[in-house]
A and B are shown apart, each in its own frame.
Chain A
């Protein structure tokens, strides 16, 4: 199984070795990866639902994912899981431990699990996560779950990869100001309060209720270790996915996400050349001017033709999905705050 054609045939035949090898080739930037990626333009990939699971370390993402596997298997679905853990910035190594909580399904050939390391990415995923998800979908998995590293507040890569994102929270990790902050909590489609049997879970539910209501998001309470709330979570995801598909939102998101992924890759590809140019020029006393000069040189354009830094500045992404008409409509007339 060395040629791309063999590997693609193996993926379609649901051969686990072929699926594993294909993901490795993409992850390692093997020259054979291109042909494999080209095979991913497929109706199976378009049809599969990609469900993102994110949240802080220790919130219960892996345990919840393990329970979701059991739920979907009971429904007869073939399921894929891409579980990402951090690479060490020091050694480059990683300890990929998410499987420990999913081993109940280890010998089930309809549960495809791949553990991946971030390999330097900082947004909560690895660069090859998107390809891994699509390879699993081509191998007949639907849904495919992508579980991020333990995140803080702003690692939003998963939102740009998944059709739906569930943010898993656990009680006791912070006060109500956490629920007001910008970032992931605004973008997740489903807010999950896990460890729902904890004494402080009620308070977290109360904090998250207006957050969910203001943005028209779902809020689900789970006890992943006992399997409680799993069916409700899965049903919520299924209903949202169907609605997104029907409204065309899923196609829009995927189009936008693919564009964002291409931008990421372009920047990655440019990075070594930029680094070399700046290293040879020296940082100068104004790093911004150095950056402009280096980029102008690389692109073969006069530096006046480059955008100014204020033009290139951070632009918020468009709203992920239609947000309720107005904050007042969702939340009454009082205590409304506009973003």
Chain B
């Protein structure tokens, strides 16, 4: 069992500039002992994927409030595969209708957090993703 801090990238793909959720989750993970690489708003899937690989993160978290999650979340997974980071688990959050979640999970998004999710649930879920990823190294 590792005792090192887990590294997580938090990014916002697409065009919406509402970063309150991304920053909230970043701070919550920081306070839970994670090293959070924050990449800011309006990133392309390719930018997020390249940063995730260079930073050797244990997981990637995406935040999106524009409604384009069905396109952009899977696009990040595809970009990660192309960049050599296809094994890095991806989770997401934002204003995501319940009926979209099964499709996102099928596309490879490991966890989806919608408004109102207790922060301790997010931390527990991301911790589990990181632990599984770290065990592979």
Q: Which residues of A pack against B, CB within 8 Å? A: 2, 15-17, 19-21, 23-24, 27-28, 87-88, 90-97, 99-100, 103, 106-107, 109, 112-115, 117, 119
Whether A16 touches B50, Cβ cut-off 8 Å, given contacts A95-B30, A95-B38, is: yes
Alpha-carbon distance A94/B31, docked complex (angstroms): 8
Q: How far is the CA of A78 from the CA of B125 in the complex (A)?
A: 38
Which B20-49 residues sit within 8 Å CB-CB of chain A? Answer: 26-27, 29-40, 43-44, 46-47
Interface size on B, residues (CB 8 A): 32
Distance to closest chain B CB from A113 (angstroms): 6
**What residues of chain A lie closer than 8 Å to B46, measured between beta carbons?**
106-107
A30 to B4, CA, bound (A): 10
Chain B residue numbers with a CB within 8 Å of A100 are 38-40
A16 partner residues in chain B, CB cutoff 8 A: 50, 53-54, 83-84
What are 24 residue pairs bridging A and B, where the CB atoms are less than 8 Å apart in the complex? A16-B54, A16-B83, A17-B56, A20-B55, A87-B35, A88-B30, A91-B30, A91-B31, A92-B5, A93-B29, A93-B33, A94-B30, A94-B36, A95-B26, A95-B38, A96-B35, A97-B38, A99-B38, A100-B39, A103-B40, A103-B43, A103-B47, A106-B51, A107-B44
CB contact list, B60-77 vs A, under 8 A = none
Q: A17-B84, A17-B85 are in contact. Are A117 and B5 (CB under 8 A)?
A: yes
Instruction: Report yes or no: A117 in contact with B43, Cβ–Cβ below 8 A.
Output: no
A93 touches B5 (CB 8 A): yes
| Contact (Cβ within 8 A) A94 B40 | no
Pick from A103, A114, A119: contact of B5, CB below 8 A.
A119
Q: How far is the CB of B29 from chain A (nearest CB, A)?
A: 7
Q: How far is the CA of A108 from the CA of B31 in the complex (A)?
A: 32
Given contacts A20-B53, A88-B30, A117-B5, contact A93 B47 (CB under 8 A): no
Q: Does B117 contact A (CB under 8 A)?
A: no
Contact of B43 among A87, A106, A109 (CB under 8 A): A106
Residues of the B chain whose Cβ atoms lie less than 8 Å from the Cβ of A93: 5, 29-36
Contacts of A27 in B (CB 8 A): 4
Residues of chain B within 8 A (CB-CB) of A114 are 54-55
Report yes or no: A88 in contact with B31, Cβ–Cβ below 8 A.
Answer: yes
Counting chain A CB atoms within 10 Å of each CB, the highest count among B32, B37, B85 belongs to B37
Docked-complex contact B137 and A2, CB < 8 angstroms: yes
Q: Which residue from chain B places its CB closest to the CB of A94 in the assembled complex?
A: B35
When C-beta atoms are compared, the residue in chain A nearest to B46 turns out to be A107
- Nearest chain B CB to A191's CB is how many angstroms away? 30
User: Closest CB of chain B to A102's CB: distance in Å?
Assistant: 9
Contact B84 A99 (CB under 8 A): no
Contact across chains for B5 and A94 when beta carbons are under 8 A apart: yes
